[in-house]
Amino acid sequence: MSNDVEQAYEIDSLIVGQEPNLIGIFSGGVLPHIAVPDAPLYSIYYRSTGETYRNVGGGSLEADWERSATFSPLYEFIQDQTSSSTNGTSFQNKLSLASSNLTQGNYRVQVQYGWKYSNNKFAFEGRVTLNNTVQELHTQTPANTSNTHFISRAFLVENFSGQLTCDLDFRSTKNGKTASIFSALIDLRRIS
Protein backbone atom coordinates (compact mmCIF):
# COMPACT_ATOMS: atom_id res chain seq x y z
CA MET A 1 0.00 0.00 0.00
CA SER A 2 2.82 2.48 0.64
CA ASN A 3 3.27 3.45 -3.05
CA ASP A 4 -0.47 4.11 -3.32
CA VAL A 5 -0.41 6.15 -0.12
CA GLU A 6 2.51 8.30 -1.26
CA GLN A 7 0.72 8.94 -4.56
CA ALA A 8 -2.47 9.92 -2.72
CA TYR A 9 -0.59 12.29 -0.45
CA GLU A 10 1.07 14.01 -3.39
CA ILE A 11 -2.18 14.52 -5.31
CA ASP A 12 -4.27 15.85 -2.43
CA SER A 13 -4.97 19.09 -4.29
CA LEU A 14 -6.70 17.38 -7.24
CA ILE A 15 -10.43 17.76 -7.67
CA VAL A 16 -12.33 14.70 -6.45
CA GLY A 17 -13.40 12.62 -9.42
CA GLN A 18 -10.31 13.28 -11.54
CA GLU A 19 -8.15 10.73 -9.69
CA PRO A 20 -10.08 7.45 -9.37
CA ASN A 21 -8.56 6.46 -6.03
CA LEU A 22 -8.68 9.82 -4.27
CA ILE A 23 -11.98 9.91 -2.42
CA GLY A 24 -11.72 13.38 -1.01
CA ILE A 25 -10.33 15.87 1.40
CA PHE A 26 -12.89 16.62 4.07
CA SER A 27 -13.05 18.48 7.35
CA GLY A 28 -14.58 16.18 9.96
CA GLY A 29 -16.20 19.18 11.67
CA VAL A 30 -17.87 20.41 8.48
CA LEU A 31 -19.37 17.09 7.44
CA PRO A 32 -20.80 15.50 10.60
CA HIS A 33 -22.05 12.44 8.67
CA ILE A 34 -18.41 11.34 8.59
CA ALA A 35 -18.65 9.90 12.08
CA VAL A 36 -15.05 10.64 13.02
CA PRO A 37 -15.07 13.42 15.63
CA ASP A 38 -11.33 13.06 16.18
CA ALA A 39 -10.48 13.24 12.45
CA PRO A 40 -7.73 15.74 11.73
CA LEU A 41 -8.78 18.89 9.92
CA TYR A 42 -8.96 18.23 6.17
CA SER A 43 -8.60 14.46 6.46
CA ILE A 44 -7.58 12.77 3.24
CA TYR A 45 -9.54 9.65 2.35
CA TYR A 46 -8.07 7.29 -0.23
CA ARG A 47 -9.14 3.95 -1.71
CA SER A 48 -6.59 1.21 -2.32
CA THR A 49 -7.22 -2.45 -3.14
CA GLY A 50 -10.91 -2.07 -2.39
CA GLU A 51 -10.45 -0.57 1.07
CA THR A 52 -10.67 3.01 2.32
CA TYR A 53 -7.83 4.65 4.25
CA ARG A 54 -7.69 7.88 6.26
CA ASN A 55 -4.51 9.90 6.82
CA VAL A 56 -4.08 10.28 10.58
CA GLY A 57 -0.38 11.04 10.85
CA GLY A 58 -0.07 13.92 8.42
CA GLY A 59 2.67 12.25 6.39
CA SER A 60 3.02 9.90 3.47
CA LEU A 61 4.41 6.90 5.38
CA GLU A 62 2.28 3.81 5.63
CA ALA A 63 2.13 4.27 9.42
CA ASP A 64 0.41 7.63 8.88
CA TRP A 65 -2.64 5.92 7.36
CA GLU A 66 -5.33 3.79 8.95
CA ARG A 67 -8.04 1.64 7.43
CA SER A 68 -11.37 3.44 7.69
CA ALA A 69 -14.88 2.08 7.51
CA THR A 70 -16.36 5.50 8.24
CA PHE A 71 -16.54 6.84 4.71
CA SER A 72 -17.81 5.27 1.52
CA PRO A 73 -15.86 5.97 -1.65
CA LEU A 74 -18.95 6.82 -3.69
CA TYR A 75 -18.92 10.16 -5.47
CA GLU A 76 -20.42 10.51 -8.93
CA PHE A 77 -21.16 13.68 -10.84
CA ILE A 78 -21.89 15.23 -14.20
CA GLN A 79 -21.62 18.87 -15.19
CA ASP A 80 -22.14 21.11 -18.19
CA GLN A 81 -20.93 24.70 -18.08
CA THR A 82 -22.34 25.64 -21.49
CA SER A 83 -25.57 27.57 -21.97
CA SER A 84 -28.65 25.87 -23.40
CA SER A 85 -31.86 27.65 -24.40
CA THR A 86 -35.41 26.88 -25.47
CA ASN A 87 -38.35 28.96 -26.66
CA GLY A 88 -40.86 26.15 -26.14
CA THR A 89 -43.06 24.91 -23.32
CA SER A 90 -41.92 21.26 -23.49
CA PHE A 91 -39.25 20.27 -21.00
CA GLN A 92 -35.75 19.95 -22.48
CA ASN A 93 -33.10 17.81 -20.75
CA LYS A 94 -29.95 19.64 -19.64
CA LEU A 95 -28.24 16.88 -17.62
CA SER A 96 -28.84 13.26 -16.74
CA LEU A 97 -26.85 11.24 -14.21
CA ALA A 98 -27.30 7.46 -14.19
CA SER A 99 -25.44 6.09 -11.18
CA SER A 100 -23.51 2.90 -10.89
CA ASN A 101 -25.26 0.04 -9.05
CA LEU A 102 -25.47 1.48 -5.52
CA THR A 103 -25.19 -0.60 -2.37
CA GLN A 104 -27.80 -0.22 0.39
CA GLY A 105 -27.38 3.15 2.12
CA ASN A 106 -28.33 6.80 2.37
CA TYR A 107 -27.39 9.15 -0.46
CA ARG A 108 -27.44 12.87 -1.09
CA VAL A 109 -28.13 14.21 -4.58
CA GLN A 110 -27.26 17.86 -5.17
CA VAL A 111 -28.41 19.78 -8.24
CA GLN A 112 -27.34 23.31 -9.06
CA TYR A 113 -27.59 25.55 -12.09
CA GLY A 114 -27.72 29.10 -13.35
CA TRP A 115 -30.73 30.37 -15.28
CA LYS A 116 -32.00 33.38 -17.18
CA TYR A 117 -35.38 34.25 -18.72
CA SER A 118 -36.22 36.74 -21.45
CA ASN A 119 -39.53 38.00 -20.04
CA ASN A 120 -40.71 39.40 -16.70
CA LYS A 121 -44.37 38.40 -17.10
CA PHE A 122 -43.95 34.65 -17.60
CA ALA A 123 -41.59 32.15 -15.96
CA PHE A 124 -38.55 29.93 -16.27
CA GLU A 125 -39.13 26.38 -15.01
CA GLY A 126 -36.50 23.91 -13.88
CA ARG A 127 -37.41 20.35 -12.94
CA VAL A 128 -35.45 17.70 -11.05
CA THR A 129 -36.52 14.06 -11.21
CA LEU A 130 -35.12 11.05 -9.36
CA ASN A 131 -35.97 7.75 -11.06
CA ASN A 132 -38.67 9.56 -13.08
CA THR A 133 -40.38 11.02 -9.99
CA VAL A 134 -40.49 14.83 -9.78
CA GLN A 135 -38.60 16.04 -6.70
CA GLU A 136 -38.53 19.77 -7.43
CA LEU A 137 -40.33 22.07 -9.82
CA HIS A 138 -38.68 25.48 -9.69
CA THR A 139 -40.90 28.15 -11.29
CA GLN A 140 -39.71 31.74 -11.17
CA THR A 141 -40.41 34.99 -13.00
CA PRO A 142 -37.41 37.33 -13.02
CA ALA A 143 -37.84 40.91 -11.84
CA ASN A 144 -35.15 41.98 -14.30
CA THR A 145 -34.57 40.07 -17.55
CA SER A 146 -30.91 41.12 -17.76
CA ASN A 147 -29.97 39.33 -14.50
CA THR A 148 -28.76 35.78 -14.17
CA HIS A 149 -29.86 33.65 -11.22
CA PHE A 150 -28.48 30.57 -9.48
CA ILE A 151 -30.22 27.79 -7.60
CA SER A 152 -28.98 24.80 -5.61
CA ARG A 153 -31.06 21.98 -4.14
CA ALA A 154 -30.16 18.83 -2.23
CA PHE A 155 -32.27 15.70 -1.88
CA LEU A 156 -31.85 12.83 0.59
CA VAL A 157 -32.45 9.34 -0.77
CA GLU A 158 -32.75 7.03 2.22
CA ASN A 159 -32.22 3.29 2.49
CA PHE A 160 -31.65 2.91 -1.26
CA SER A 161 -29.91 0.31 -3.40
CA GLY A 162 -29.75 -0.14 -7.17
CA GLN A 163 -29.35 2.40 -9.95
CA LEU A 164 -30.43 5.99 -9.35
CA THR A 165 -31.16 8.31 -12.28
CA CYS A 166 -31.35 12.06 -11.79
CA ASP A 167 -32.51 14.39 -14.58
CA LEU A 168 -32.40 18.18 -14.78
CA ASP A 169 -34.87 19.60 -17.30
CA PHE A 170 -35.99 23.15 -18.12
CA ARG A 171 -38.54 25.06 -20.19
CA SER A 172 -40.34 28.35 -20.77
CA THR A 173 -43.90 28.73 -19.52
CA LYS A 174 -44.77 30.77 -22.64
CA ASN A 175 -44.04 29.85 -26.28
CA GLY A 176 -41.67 32.32 -27.90
CA LYS A 177 -40.02 33.42 -24.63
CA THR A 178 -36.44 32.23 -24.08
CA ALA A 179 -35.46 30.14 -21.06
CA SER A 180 -31.70 29.58 -20.64
CA ILE A 181 -29.79 27.29 -18.29
CA PHE A 182 -26.01 27.11 -17.69
CA SER A 183 -23.33 26.01 -15.20
CA ALA A 184 -25.34 22.88 -14.38
CA LEU A 185 -24.14 20.18 -11.98
CA ILE A 186 -25.59 16.99 -10.53
CA ASP A 187 -23.58 15.21 -7.86
CA LEU A 188 -24.34 12.05 -5.91
CA ARG A 189 -22.64 11.13 -2.63
CA ARG A 190 -23.14 8.31 -0.17
CA ILE A 191 -23.58 9.80 3.29
CA SER A 192 -24.08 6.67 5.38
CATH code assigned at 109: 2.60.120.660
55/83 same-domain check: no
Residues 85, 149 within the same domain: yes
If residue 174 lies in a helix (H) or strand (E), which one and from where to where?
A: none
What average pLDDT does range 114-140 have in this prediction?
A: 94
- Based on the domain organization, do 59 and 148 belong to the same domain? no
User: Are 88 and 183 members of one domain?
Assistant: yes
Predicted local distance difference test score (pLDDT) of residue 28: 36
Do 95 and 13 sit in the same domain of this protein?
no
Q: Which of 17, 45, 67 is the last residue of a domain?
A: 67
pLDDT > 70 in the chain, percent: 62
Question: How big is the CA angle at 130 (ends 141 and 75), to the nearest 5 degrees?
Answer: 105
Backbone angles phi, psi at 10, to 5 degrees: -75, -25
Do 36 and 118 lie in one domain? The reply is: no
Does residue 16 surpass a pLDDT of 50? Answer: no
The pLDDT value recorded for residue 168 is 97
pTM above 0.85, yes or no: no
Q: What was the pLDDT predicted at 177?
A: 95
Is the model's pLDDT at 2 over the cut of 60?
Answer: no
**Residue 104 has what pLDDT?**
86
Query: Mean pLDDT over residues 160-181, rounded?
Result: 95
49 phi/psi in degrees, rounded to 5: 45, 45
State the residue range of the domain holding 42: 2-67
Report helix, strand or coil for 178. coil
Considering the domain architecture, whether residues 111 and 175 belong to the same structural domain is answered as yes
For residue 97, pLDDT over 50 is answered with yes
Output the DSSP codes for 41-105: TTEEEEEETTEEEEE-SSSSSGGGEEE-SSS---EEEEEE-S-EEE-SSS-EEEEEEE---EEEE
Judge if 82 and 170 occupy the same domain. Answer: yes
Question: How many domains does one find in the chain?
Answer: 2
How large is the average pLDDT for residues 51-55?
A: 52
Mark which of 24, 51, 67 sits at the end of a domain. 67
